[in-house]
Structure 1
Amino acid sequence: MSIPLPTTLPPQDAQTLLERAKSLSGFTLGELAQRAGLTIPPDLKREKGWVGMLLEVYLGASAGSKPEQDFPEIGVELKTIPIDHSGNPLETTFVCVAPLTGNSGVTWESSHVRHKLTRVLWIPVEGERQIPLATRRIGTPLLWSPNAEEDEQLRQDWEELMDLIVLGKVESITARHGEVLQLRPKAANNKARTEAIGEKGQPIMTLPRGFYLKKSFTRQLLARHFLL
């Protein structure tokens, strides 16, 4: 089986995107990087987004780092998910940066989280640390949209977390809040600060936060679709 060629052409539809992703299944990150002329980092500690960037080269993503879906023309977000040998996710999945100010009138329906999760192309990748990055293989992709139950779970968590942000309790939110969605600091280092609302309604400076899907949620999602 020959390695597919990188492409700059955005996919015409979701099915085309899924077929492109399927054509990468079984290849190693090293094989794809070599074909694309990209250098493999020694590890992902400082290059967290490298695997996603490599796959975008083959899938024709156009959004780059813009705050929209990776494939805005067809409304699909790309999420790579590191898994162990049993197919279980090894880490939480970043969704988007959380807005800590200017949240009046925002609803779940109009939220950035929901927009990002409307349609997701999940690509599992071997992620166990003992496997060298270059020899980690790409798994079978999954094109997913939340069903009614998943949408409701996400909505409830989002509303609970947003209520706490609006009420000035952002500093008291921990990773334990939320059943399927959590809010965690999202910053390159502890010096990064952004504006938020304090308990008395006053402006405060705090660490930027991001919304993450918990491993239990993505584990169930993968298990249901791949019958693990």
Structure 2
Amino acid sequence: MEGTEYRTKESVLRRAQEVIGIPLKDVDTTGRLATGKGAIGTVIEESWFGYSPNSESEPDFPEAGVELKVTPYLRGRNGIRAKERLVCNIINYMEEYDKTFHTSAFWHKCENILLMSYEHLLDRPKGDFKIDAAILFSFPEEDLVIIEHDWETIMEKVHNGRAHELSEGDTMYLAACTKGATAASVRPQPFSAIPAKQRAYSLKASYMTRILNAYIFGDAQSERIIKDPAELQEGTFEDYLRRKLSPYFGMTQTELKTRFAVESSAKNLNEVLLSKMLGIQGKIAYTEEFQKAGIVPKTIRVRKNGTIKENMSFPTFDFIELSQEEEWEESDLYNYLAPTKFLFIIFQENDEGELVFERVKLWNIPNRDLEEVRRVWERTVQAIREGVVLEQTSRGVANNLPKQSESAVAHVRPHGRDGNDRLPLPDGRMMTKQCFWLNNTYIAEQIKEK
């Protein structure tokens, strides 16, 4: 890439901060706002900084060593959250595999980021959007050790000839997201003849949410599980969790309650106990690491016979919004399930009927099973578009949405027991709220030690 007139970090930041508060329609000199996705970042590149967009390996401002990233956020009832993952650079499997993290294409391009943010307003045209902050961002030490582990996890799959099995959920903060105009966008990999989906390094939306809140909106950091980054020099975050929790494996729930002087029998009792075991004052889901990685804690109670009672639910969906989803990889379900890690807190029922803390497992859905969820999603979307068949039976109102008996992985059914809690279908009829579920039999298989 040719050099720009911005040769220092200070000059880059100074110019970036001058655009704050100006409507983008007054910034755009090329008509880029009328184009598709990514147009706002392109407007800033072309019309404000005066250089052509590129996908080269060099940072956008090579002399300054700074990469420009423009990122949107949403403001809702629960505060500020990133609208999407922050996509970095394409992963060249054929070149990247023999590098170290600090010689990698990701680090070369994104060691220093000019992060510019804007609020995505659902009811306003893009031209009304305004950049509201610009900062120079470098990864803090405590994040960098996890990001380096993430990069190594991605490269390990490439080394093992399994680049075609990469998934966003494999990692904590830095992910390998799909990148291409179609699902047929593939690239060669060095240790297998199987073409792999084209992917890019990206920072997860959960990570960007915390970065926006901490560095742009000035929120205080949450409680940390890892007090000293050096604790991750000898292993991964999951290794650390196991090391801290292993002294408690084999203890009954009652013994743990006594050990930590917990009197509660609330529904989230096991998560309370887990926080105590890790030395956390608040909820584990609210810790810095869990928020940045988007880790969802789930208690799994295994019966004496090895089965699990509960299916695993996801958020209720809006029938009309779901019917309007066109692409699987743009769907709400994909963007929740693909990058998410679940911490399974596994309790096994013993012969006396007591729950014994057996182990924990960080889990993300494998690609092959994500494809089966895709099939269930497609059938659901199709059924809603064509008009859900509702039939009164002796047991209530039956429908033709995908059932648990029709898939080994996932199904659709109501969330909650109140049949009066309903939402409109596209044709105006009302239907009990529904959500996607992972089958209890599927989860039972996934938690088996392999």
Same fold (TM over 0.5): yes
1:121 to 102, 114, 121: 114
What letter is aligned with 1:132? P
SS of the counterpart of 1:123? strand
What letter is aligned with 2:162? K
**1:215 match:** 205
**Residues 62, 71 of structure 1: 8 Å contact kept:** no
**Residues 63, 69 of structure 1: 8 Å contact kept:** no
Q: Distance in 2 between matches of 1:133 and 1:104?
A: 39
Corresponding pairs, count? 212
Q: Distance in 2 between matches of 1:202 and 1:191?
A: 18
**1:10 match:** 5
Report the Cα offset of residue 146 of structure 1: 1.2
Report the Cα offset of residue 191 of structure 1: 2.6
Q: Distance in 2 between matches of 1:143 and 1:127?
A: 21
SS of the counterpart of 1:109? helix
**Residues 93, 212 of structure 1: 8 Å contact kept:** yes
**Residues 33, 40 of structure 2: 8 Å contact kept:** no
Change (3 A) 1:61 1:76: farther
2:218 to 219, 222, 227: 227
1:169 to 144, 150, 162: 162
SS of the counterpart of 1:154? helix
Higher relative contact order (CA 8 A, sep 6+): 1
- Structure 1 gap ranges (5+): 1-7
2:49 to 32, 56, 59: 59
Q: Distance in 1 between matches of 2:37 and 2:142?
A: 31
Q: Distance in 2 between matches of 1:124 and 1:81?
A: 5
**Residues 124, 139 of structure 1: 8 Å contact kept:** yes
1:105 to 86, 95, 98: 98
TM alignment of 1:11-160, pairs within 5 A:
11-33=6-28, 36-41=29-34, 47-56=36-45, 57-61=47-51, 64-85=54-75, 86-160=79-153
- Structure 2 gap ranges (5+): 220-450
**Residues 10, 62 of structure 1: 8 Å contact kept:** no
Alignment RMSD, CA only? Answer: 2.1
CA deviation map 1:5-37 (0-9, x unaligned): xxx96213111111111111111111211xx25
SS of the counterpart of 1:27? coil
Change (3 A) 1:133 1:204: same
Q: Distance in 2 between matches of 1:181 and 1:72?
A: 23
Report the Cα offset of residue 38 of structure 1: 2.7
CA deviation map 1:30-80 (0-9, x unaligned): 1211xx253531xx6xx2232112111312446733221000011000000
Q: Distance in 2 between matches of 1:81 and 1:103?
A: 26
Change (3 A) 1:203 1:39: closer
SS of the counterpart of 2:184? coil
Q: Distance in 2 between matches of 1:124 and 1:70?
A: 17
Change (3 A) 1:222 1:40: closer
The structure carrying a bigger helix percent of its residues is 2
Identical counterparts, % of pairs: 24
Q: Distance in 1 between matches of 2:133 and 2:120?
A: 14
Greater radius of gyration (CA): 2
Report the Cα offset of residue 156 of structure 1: 0.6
Q: Within the alignment, does 1:205 sit opposite 2:195 as a pair?
A: yes
**Residues 60, 67 of structure 2: 8 Å contact kept:** yes
Q: Distance in 2 between matches of 1:217 and 1:92?
A: 8
Q: Distance in 1 between matches of 2:184 and 2:96?
A: 24
Structure 1 segments, 4+ long, off by >4 Å, are none
Report the Cα offset of residue 111 of structure 1: 0.5
Relative to the length of structure 1, the TM-score reads 0.84
What letter is aligned with 1:151? L
The structure carrying a bigger strand percent of its residues is 2
Change (3 A) 1:53 1:149: same
SS of the counterpart of 2:107? helix
Change (3 A) 1:93 1:185: same
Q: Distance in 2 between matches of 1:184 and 1:39?
A: 25
Relative to the length of structure 2, the TM-score reads 0.44
What letter is aligned with 1:143? L
What letter is aligned with 2:67? E
Q: Distance in 2 between matches of 1:69 and 1:204?
A: 31
Report the Cα offset of residue 190 of structure 1: 2.2
**Residues 113, 138 of structure 2: 8 Å contact kept:** yes
